[in-house]
Chains A and B, each alone.
Chain A
Amino acid sequence: MKELVFKEIDGGKPFYMLLAFMGLFVLTALGAAWYMEHNGHWVTGMNNQIVWGTPHVFAVFLIIAASGALNVASISSVFQKTAYKPLARLSGLLAIALLVGGLAVLVLDLGRPDRLIIAMTYYNFKSIFAWNIMLYTGFMAVVGVYLWMMMERKMNGFTKAAGTAAFIWRLILTTGTGSIFGFIVARQFYDSALYAPMFIIMSFSFGLAIFILVLMAIYSGTGRPLGDAILFRLKNLLGVFIAAVLLMVTIFFLTGLYATEHHDVVAFILNGNNIYTKLFWVVQIIMGSLAPLALLYNPVTGTSRAWIAIASILVILGGLAQIYVIIIGGQAFPLVMFPGMEVSSSFTDGVIASYGPSLPEFLLGFSGIAIALIIVTLALKVLQFAPNSLADADVDPHYAAAK
């Protein structure tokens, strides 16, 4: 293999156009956040029954995807697959960027975002939220050090150690994110230890889908060569992750179908006359899992860059739908306080809670993605994250020779 040459991207007109476009998203989101905080959350779709809305869907998606985006680097540094080495820096960068984007959305959706400093200084160590605050900030630090080890020639010897630490940290981090839901004993759809491993598998899939898209965008945008060898490896891996998520989802619902106690909530999600059932079957399963699986492994579409990109986009949309069903659907199902009773009250006890996402919530959610992309774009401009060439001959001579 030739020695890799990493180089900053050029800052031409497209570079500034992209930044300006993404910046616009961030500005509207800041306006939306101000509007929500100024008027109070009644202007959103949220209420006292659905307390976490669309911003949480985007935030949790981005946080999960962040840890997954690091996988490519882990495969290189921890599992010593040299083919992934050229991508490791970008993988670490994307992980940090997605996490920052997700956290920004989460913070701006707080009832009191001005009290962020309190969240940083007052800790209840029994709270899984508090653990997560430390896991998130720690993740950025650990991945930051890992990037330094990779990018500073003198420190290269420590890459494996730092990469291993980051890999372990990310597994714990996603366990923590999943357990935010897994530890909620009060609600029928949560309270399952499966959330932790399911979120880890989901992170593999969502993170890789985003990574593939960002990689393709960078290389086509900068006119640098991107060979089939590396891209096909990634898309095959994405297929494996999609299948693994399907397996976890199947097990999750099977356990629910077995116990009578959970029949109602499982029927609500899988066979209800509501948006969650549609999102589950149409967007998450058919569009977001089965279709990309078929596209990625079909010999024709699986070797087409356009179809690989479409499959990756579908995985992202399916992932957003999955998180929407988990977060909003899980809250919409009424709390079971009195088993065997029909319950009614002025506080919507016993009925499916309604939730309609509002424009400010969507704008805030989208800004998470915009923030992540701005960070990636700026970092590519000022530091050497992306190799000059990912052509087959440069990264995998055997593949190039066999072709």
Chain B
Amino acid sequence: MSEESNIDIYRRRFLSGTATAAAGLAVAPGVLLTEVAHAKPADQAVTSDVRWGMLIDTSKCDNGCDDCVTACNEEHNLEGFGRPTTDAQWIRTVTLKDKQTGNVQTLPMLCQHCEHPPCVDVCPTGASFKREDGIVLVDKHICIGCRYCMMACPYKARSFVHEKLHDQMPYSPRGKGTVESCTFCVHRVDEGMSPACVEACSAEDHHAMTFGDMNDPDSELSQQLKQYSSRQIRADLELNTGVRYRGI
């Protein structure tokens, strides 16, 4: 057997080991995992039969709660350097106050995983790409750090890695001088789990975030999207976002 395929086997074992450990940790406190359909075998390519999406019910977002943000930072080890303008933020809570009525809301803002992502359009090398299942990612190996995607993103969802990183998570590679953003926890989704933020929100019994397959009419996400009116942020751009909001 060639050395290369040996490495492949080691890598697969390592990844499945990590995933099992993560799953074990998640289930241990008695948290019921939101069931995500279409977990696929590791050797099977992703297809466009699935489109991963999310519905965020802002009426269930507690003012001051940032469990989703904390969960994301821990999952991907987004360490802060105490420099808010250059530290990476993959998900953030945004507070909105209606200028006319004074009504105040908070909501989590993250990569909207657009069907027509402007970041992918503008990327000169193709490092910004969209998987067949709708997840928008950055290939850290061919990102040259030009930051044009950050100029083009209407949601300010992307961060540039401004300094040297330590203790990275093997399933979530990052690199100084490259751009990054929410991955929809693709490493978890491929294992049949929900993103860390969704799980944290459910664990606190808020259930403000629902993750699932927008193409499967029977998924909980599709059912909710069908039942309740929801909107896309900057719908005028017609990007057909994968993240939808209720209550704004």
A residues within 8 Å of B by Cβ?
A: 37, 39-42, 46-49, 51-52, 110-113, 115-116, 118-119, 122-124, 126-130, 133, 180, 183-187, 331, 335, 337-338, 340-349, 353-354
Contact = CB atoms under 8 A, between A and B. Distances in A.
Contacts, number: 178
B36 interface: no
Interface stretch (B1-9, B26-34, B151-159, B199-207): B151-159
Interface string B124-161: 11110000000000000011111110111111101111
B14 interface: no
A183 B237 CA distance: 13
Contact of A349 (B124, B156, B161): B156
Contacts of A40: 161-164, 176-177
A226 B207 CA distance: 78
B243 interface: no
Contacts of A345: 92-95, 109
Given A51-B151, A111-B177, A42 B86 contact: yes
Nearest to A345: B94
Nearest to B102: A342
A320 B123 CA distance: 26
A35 to B, nearest CB: 13
Interface in B83-121: 83-89, 92-100, 109, 118, 120-121
B81 A42 contact: yes
Given A42-B86, A345-B109, A340 B98 contact: yes
17 contacts: A40-B164, A40-B176, A46-B160, A111-B145, A111-B178, A113-B144, A115-B145, A118-B144, A119-B146, A122-B142, A130-B124, A186-B151, A337-B234, A338-B96, A341-B99, A344-B97, A346-B92
B99 A118 contact: no
A49 B92 CA distance: 14
B97 A111 contact: no
Given A42-B163, A124-B123, 20 more contacts: A42-B83, A42-B162, A48-B156, A52-B151, A118-B125, A127-B123, A184-B122, A184-B152, A186-B151, A186-B153, A186-B237, A337-B155, A337-B233, A338-B96, A341-B96, A342-B96, A342-B98, A342-B99, A343-B94, A343-B97
Contact of B96 (A127, A186, A343): A343
Interface of B: 81, 83-89, 92-100, 109, 118, 120-127, 142-148, 150-156, 158-164, 175-179, 233-234, 237, 248
Contact of A124 (B88, B126, B162): B126
A185 B161 contact: no
Given A37-B177, A42-B86, A111-B179, A187 B95 contact: no
A150 B63 CA distance: 71
**Most-contacted residue by chain A among B147, B153, B175 (CB, 10 A):** B147
B87, B123, B127, B162: residue with the most chain A Cβ atoms closer than 10 Å:
B162
A184 B152 CA distance: 5
